Amino acid sequence: MDYFISDTHFGHKNVIRFCNRPFKTVTEMNDKIIENWNNIVTDADRVFVLGDVALCATGEAKFYIEQLNGHKVLIKGNHDFNEKRMLEVGFDEFHNSYDYRMPDGRLALLEHRPIPDCMIDEKYDLMMHGHIHISEKVRGKKINVSCDIWEFEPIPIKVL
């Protein structure tokens, strides 16, 4: 099964305050996201992470990413390291954007930052993105997969 998530911000203490996350400490936040992820995702699954995985040192990011189940595909966000470093911390794939074929045949553009519906190329039926932590889950042709609005867990493709 394929899953989607963005903006986990592992190791980023201030995201709790900035986004009004329901955690007292960054350790509590990190542990809850990892627990939620691993309760849903198996090693046979694929997870598309649409950016902003961690905001911490490389070694610390590696500590978090290596705990996560599944084949991890990163779509680069504005807080992510370069391709070489992200593969070193535990991602299986790295992309700046990704064309994803939905089970019903629709084509989705996967990127970290949303773009206006009118800017989505005619070849795409929809866009999945992160970056916006507090917003509607669906807006026009866009699906926001930020963990802040999806209970801090990966979203299965069957829900989208």
137 burial via Cβ count (<10 Å: 0-12, 13-18, 19+):
middle
Of the candidates 147, 75, 138, which has an alpha carbon nearest to the alpha carbon of residue 112? 75
Q: Is the pLDDT of residue 118 over 90?
A: no
- Detail the DSSP E strand segments found in 10-153: 46-49, 71-75, 93-95, 98-101, 107-110, 126-129, 138-139, 142-144
**pLDDT computed for residue 119 by the predictor:** 84
What was the pLDDT predicted at 61? Answer: 97
Q: What is the pLDDT of residue 134?
A: 86
In this predicted structure, the answer to whether residue 143 has a pLDDT above a threshold of 90 is: yes
The stretch 134-142 carries a mean pLDDT of 91
The predicted pLDDT at position 19 comes to 94
Instruction: Report pLDDT for 60.
Output: 97
Q: Residue 121 has what pLDDT?
A: 82
> Is the CB of residue 61 less than 8 Å from the CB of residue 74?
no
Residue 21 has a pLDDT of: 96
pLDDT at 135 over 90: no
